[in-house]
Structure 1
């Protein structure tokens, strides 16, 4: 790892990650990217509705419908645990600084959040730990346990994985950020990514949201939704990035290429 990499770990107000559980079943959704049709379809899944907890692994509202996404999350009440993604961190920072160098889309997305939504993002912690039946303690974060913008992929070498997970006292690490769905064993730990609900990188049918169900094992799941509706809503909302957003939904990047790029760059905001 380069010595000059700026790490985005826990905020100054945070201590060690809070611990929750025990829980029999935990639904894990990541990288929502404010895709309401995809989010609604996954939340309607019987196994998600019946889960003891729903953990959201970051990049919650960075997309075309941020306020509506915040309202969906708030409606879940105490059943939901969130961790902070790099997009969530950036939205909070932009709202506080009104950065003059922000792009049109960055400014637009930030402006779509109500004060309550920004206050919510400001409170989202860097990571949480949940005791899950059959799996023991599971650590959830967005990028890695040391930075929300570090990419963990199916191709992450064992050496780097050992470095980024060295502080953990768990048997399972769940990350997001890469938009790739996978589960693998690395150096005695299980490395899991539920994939992205809102913008998955995959080779399957467009309009497929990815998520996971934990307990007593790890189940990687998919849910189909109306992708044409998601594209139409992005345009109707006035999202300056609607064209690129639609292209990613309709022609997702190839996972193999994503892994090669991610393992070359490692840290991506």
Structure 2
């Protein structure tokens, strides 16, 4: 039978939220996981990388913009107090830096006749592009049946010209409603993508205490509320 896979992204150093997403996906039948990048950034911690490492061959990792900025240093230095990438670099062992450097910026796979494109950003800019719920999808040209992406921290599922576009959101730092992380369960045989939401309030409340240097604008994300929650609240 075609597999069921789990897709998640943008954990940003917050391992308890990442681990919760992983547990939910496996409980719901995911046989393999795909992580679309940004294990680091905003919160100076290697903990998500440790969780990814422990998953071994059960997870495939892509490089996000924060990994790319960490490796190449191409970002506005004035935003370091927000990104916390230099501090992150100081605490990461070389083995993790080498591992991150091996992550690909996109993944194009065919499973059971389905062409699937996975990226952090957009089909036009795989690492830094943004695709929002209202982005014009006519600009994208590719051969995929399904496109899975992240980066905006805002989940959605849209269909354009029989192509499924899925933003998996953020498992740890949502920007639509700060109470609920998100991830996606994709049944390839049924061509059914489900956005799952799970409460992370008990985790987010501890971040400022555990990491006092986290910028106020980052912490403020958890105060956001949405009248309509995208996805299935578990």
TM-score, normalisation: structure 2: 0.83
Structure 1 residues 231 and 107, CA gap change in structure 2 (3 angstroms)? farther
Contact kept, 8 Å, 2:108 with 2:115, in 1: the verdict is yes
In structure 1, the residue matched to 2:164 is 190
Please state whether the residue corresponding to 2:170 is helix, strand or coil: coil
Give structure 2 stretches of 5+ with no counterpart.
229-234
Deviation at 1:106, TM superposition (A): 3.2
- The separation in 2 between residues aligned to 1:113 and 1:49, in whole angstroms, is 32
In structure 2, the residue matched to 1:235 is 209
- The separation in 2 between residues aligned to 1:110 and 1:239, in whole angstroms, is 15
1:247 pairs, out of 217, 220, 232, with 220
Contact kept, 8 Å, 1:141 with 1:174, in 2: the verdict is yes
1:124 pairs, out of 103, 114, 118, with 103
Aligned residues: 222
Contact kept, 8 Å, 2:176 with 2:224, in 1: the verdict is no
Structure 1 residues 32 and 46, CA gap change in structure 2 (3 angstroms)? closer
Deviation at 1:240, TM superposition (A): 4.0
Give structure 1 stretches of 5+ with no counterpart.
1-21, 256-269
In structure 1, the residue matched to 2:52 is 73
- The separation in 1 between residues aligned to 2:100 and 2:136, in whole angstroms, is 32
Aligned Cα root-mean-square deviation (Å): 2.7
- The separation in 1 between residues aligned to 2:135 and 2:25, in whole angstroms, is 33
Q: Deviations over 1:65-95 (max 9, x none)?
A: 531110000001011011111111001123x
Deviation at 1:132, TM superposition (A): 4.2
